[in-house]
C-alpha cells in the first residue's frame, strides 16, 4: 500500500473524528486543541463496484459486490497560524504532512471554533478563513526551506551550470516535492530565467504553485449536521472539491454496524435496523442519523476518500489475474488483488507494479473481459481485469 492521504486542519475541527470514522482506529477525541500530538496512522478504503458483479458467482473479496481497496490515512497534529515559524505543533505537522500524496482539509463548517481551534458559539467564525491560512502555512513552510540556503544555492547553480529544477527538487525532497513537479511549477510561474534576480515574492509564488501541484487538496466541510446553511453553501461554491461531511454520524453508524444493531456499509445512503430490542435512546440516535442521511444522501466520509483517490489523485483500480477465463490467480482465488494506479497507466506499467522481473520480461497482456490481446502501451481503464504474459517465472 503506497498511497497516503493526509488529514489536515486546525485543532478541534473534527479531524480525529474523521480519522476514526474512516478507519475505526482507537484514537483520542476531545474538545480542546492539540489532542493529536503525534500523527495517527490507519487504513481506510476506497469504495468501488467489484467486477465480479458481472459474473454468476461472487469473488469472495468484496461485500455484496462492493470492493474496498486499502489506502493509508494519516491524521497529523492540528495546525495554527504561523505554524511554519514553529508555533503550536507546526514543525511536527509539516514534517508529517510531507508523506501525503494528497490532503483532505477537514474544516469545522459550523463556525464553532476560532482560527486557533478554541470552541466558540456556532456560526461565530467564517470557515472560509481556515482554507486561506492552511494554504499559506504550507506555502511558507516550503519557502522557508528554500530561503535558508537560497543565496548559496543560487551562486552554486550559476557557477557550476547546474539544472535549477534538480537543485530545487533536492532542497524540497523533505517536503515531498519531486523534480517533475518543480519543472511543472517553473513552467506555470513563468519566472525570469535569471534565478539570481528572483525576489522573495518570486520564491513565494513558486512555492505556492509547488504546493498546489505536489499537495493537491480537497475540503471536508465537517459538522454539516449543525452547520449554518450559508456556511456550507459558501464552501461548496469554492473552485475545488468540497464534500459536506458528518464524521460523528459515520462513527455512530459504523459502531452500530460493528455491534450487530444495524446493517451498514460505508458510503451507503441508508441502513437497516437488525435488532428489535434497542433502547429508546439508541432508536432516537439512529433516527436522528437517518434524518441526516435522507437530507444529505450520506455522511460524506466515504465520498471524501473516493473523490480524493479518483478525482484529486486521478487514480484507477485495476485487477491483475493469472487465468483470464476464471479471473483467478494460480490458487484459483478469483480477483484476489486490486491495484490503485495513475490514470493513463499502461499494461506494461501494471506488469512492473506486479513485479520488476515481470515488467522486464513483459510480452503482452490480455483483457480478461473481452479476451483481447493488449500491447505494452495499451492504456488501462478503471475496473479493468488484466492478465500479464511474460517470460519471467
DSSP one-letter string for 46-64: EEEE-GGGGSSS--SSSBT
Pairwise CA distance, residues 126 & 231, whole Å: 7
pLDDT the model gives residue 173: 87
Confidence at residue 155, expressed as pLDDT on a 0 to 100 scale: 85
Closest-CA residue to 321 (of 55, 9, 3): 55
Q: Which CATH superfamily is domain 312-390 in?
A: Beta-grasp domain (3.10.20.30)
C-beta neighbour count of 138 within 10 angstroms: 27
Specify the pLDDT at position 28.
Answer: 43
Question: Is residue 134 helix, strand or coil?
Answer: helix
- C-alpha distances out from residue 355 to 66, 301, 336, 393, Å: 27, 33, 16, 11
In the chain, residues under CATH classification 3.10.20.30 are 312-390
What is the model's pLDDT at position 119? 93
Contact yes or no for 293/314 (Cβ under 8 A): no
Q: What is the largest CA-CA distance in the chain?
A: 79
The number of beta carbons lying within 10 Å of the beta carbon of residue 183 is 17
Could you tell me if 187 and 150 are in contact, meaning their C-beta atoms sit under 8 angstroms apart? no
Beta bridge partners of 69: 46
139-213 belongs to CATH 1.10.8.470: yes
Would you state the pLDDT for residue 154? 87
CATH 1.10.8.470 region(s) of the chain?
A: 139-213
Q: Could you tell me the pTM of the whole model? A: 0.88
pLDDT the model gives residue 88: 45
pLDDT of residue 362: 97
pLDDT tens for the chain, 393 residues long, are: 468 999 988 888 898 899 999 997 654 443 433 344 456 889 999 999 999 999 988 899 999 999 999 999 998 866 666 655 655 444 556 667 778 889 999 999 999 999 888 999 999 999 999 998 888 888 988 898 888 888 888 888 888 888 889 989 998 888 889 999 999 999 999 876 678 888 999 999 999 999 999 989 999 999 999 999 999 999 999 999 999 999 999 999 999 999 999 999 999 999 999 998 999 999 999 999 999 999 999 999 999 999 999 999 999 999 999 999 999 999 999 999 999 999 999 999 999 999 999 999 999 999 999 999 999 999 999 999 999 999 987
pLDDT computed for residue 34 by the predictor: 38
For strands 66-75 and 40-49, give the pairing.
antiparallel
Three-state helix/strand/coil letters over the chain: CCCEEEEECCCCCCHHHHHHHHHCCCCCCCCCCCCCCCCEEEEEEEEEECHHHHCCCCCCCCECCEEEEEEEEEECCCCCCCHHHCCCCHHHHHHHHCCCCEEEEEEECCCCECCCCCECCCCCCCCHHHHHHHHHHHHHHHHHHHHHCHHHHHHHHHHHCCCHHHHHHHHCHHHCCCHHHHHHHHHHHCCCCCHHHCCHHHHHHHHHHHHHHHCCEEEEEECCCCCCHHHHHHHHCCCCCEEECCHHHHHHHHHHHHCCCEECCCCCCCCEECCCCCCHHHHHHHHHHHHHHHHHCCCCHHHHHHHHHHHHCCEEEEEEECECCCCECCCCCECCCCEEEECCCEHHHHHHHHCHHHHHCEEEEEECCCCCEECCCCECCCCCEEEEEECCC
pLDDT at position 89: 42
Amino acid at each position: 500500500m503506497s498511497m497516503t492521504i493526509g488529514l489536515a486542519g486546525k485543532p478541534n475541527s473534527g479531524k480525529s473524528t474523521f480519522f476514526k470514522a474512516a478507519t475505526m482506529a482507537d484514537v483520542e477525541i476531545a474538545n480542546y486543541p492539540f489532542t493529536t500530538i503525534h500523527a495517527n496512522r490507519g487504513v481506510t478504503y476506497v469504495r468501488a463496484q467489484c467486477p465480479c458483479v458481472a459474473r454468476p458467482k461472487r469473488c469472495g473479496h468484496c461485500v455484496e459486490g462492493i470492493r474496498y481497496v486499502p489506502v493509508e490515512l494519516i491524521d497529523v497534529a492540528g495546525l495554527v497560524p504561523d505554524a511554519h515559524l514553529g508555533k503550536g505543533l507546526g514543525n511536527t505537522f509539516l514534517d508529517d504532512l510531507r508523506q501525503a500524496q494528497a490532503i483532505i482539509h477537514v474544516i469545522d463548517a459550523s463556525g464553532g471554533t476560532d482560527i486557533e481551534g478554541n470552541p466558540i458559539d456556532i456560526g461565530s467564525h467564517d470557515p472560509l478563513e481556515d482554507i486561506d491560512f492552511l494554504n499559506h502555512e504550507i506555502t511558507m513552510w516550503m519557502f522557508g526551506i528554500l530561503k535558508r540556503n537560497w543565496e548559496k544555492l543560487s551562486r552554486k547553480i550559476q557557477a557550476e551550470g547546474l539544472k535549477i529544477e534538480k537543485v530545487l527538487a533536492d532542497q524540497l525532497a523533505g517536503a515531498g516535492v519531486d523534480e517533475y513537479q518543480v519543472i511543472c511549477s517553473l513552467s506555470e510561474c513563468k519566472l525570469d530565467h535569471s534565478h539570481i534576480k528572483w525576489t522573495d515574492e518570486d520564491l513565494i509564488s513558486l512555492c505556492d504553485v509547488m504546493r498546489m501541484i505536489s499537495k493537491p487538496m480537497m475540503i471536508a466541510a465537517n459538522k454539516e449536521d449543525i452547520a449554518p446553511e450559508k456556511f456550507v453553501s459558501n464552501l461548496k461554491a469554492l473552485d475545488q472539491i468540497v464534500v459536506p461531511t458528518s464524521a460523528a454520524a459515520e462513527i455512530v453508524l459504523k459502531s452500530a454496524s460493528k455491534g450487530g444493531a444495524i446493517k451498514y456499509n460505508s458510503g451507503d445512503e441508508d441502513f437497516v435496523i437488525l435488532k428489535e430490542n434497542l433502547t429508546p435512546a439508541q432508536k432516537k440516535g439512529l433516527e436522528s442519523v437517518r434524518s441526516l442521511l435522507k437530507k444529505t444522501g450520506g455522511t460524506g466520509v466515504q465520498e471524501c476518500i473516493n473523490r480524493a483517490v479518483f478525482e484529486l489523485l486521478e487514480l484507477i483500480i485495476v485487477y491483475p489475474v493469472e487465468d483470464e477465463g476464471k479471473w483467478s490467480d494460480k490458487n484459483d482465488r478469483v480477483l484476489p488483488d486490486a491495484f490503485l494506479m495513475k490514470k493513463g497507466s499502461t499494461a506494461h506499467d501494471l506488469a512492473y507494479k506486479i513485479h520488476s522481473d515481470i515488467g522486464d520480461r513483459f510480452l503482452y497482456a490480455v483483457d480478461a473481459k473481452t479476451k483481447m490481446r493488449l500491447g505494452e502501451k495499451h492504456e488501462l481503464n478503471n475496473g479493468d481485469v488484466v492478465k500479464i504474459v511474460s517470460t519471467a517465472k
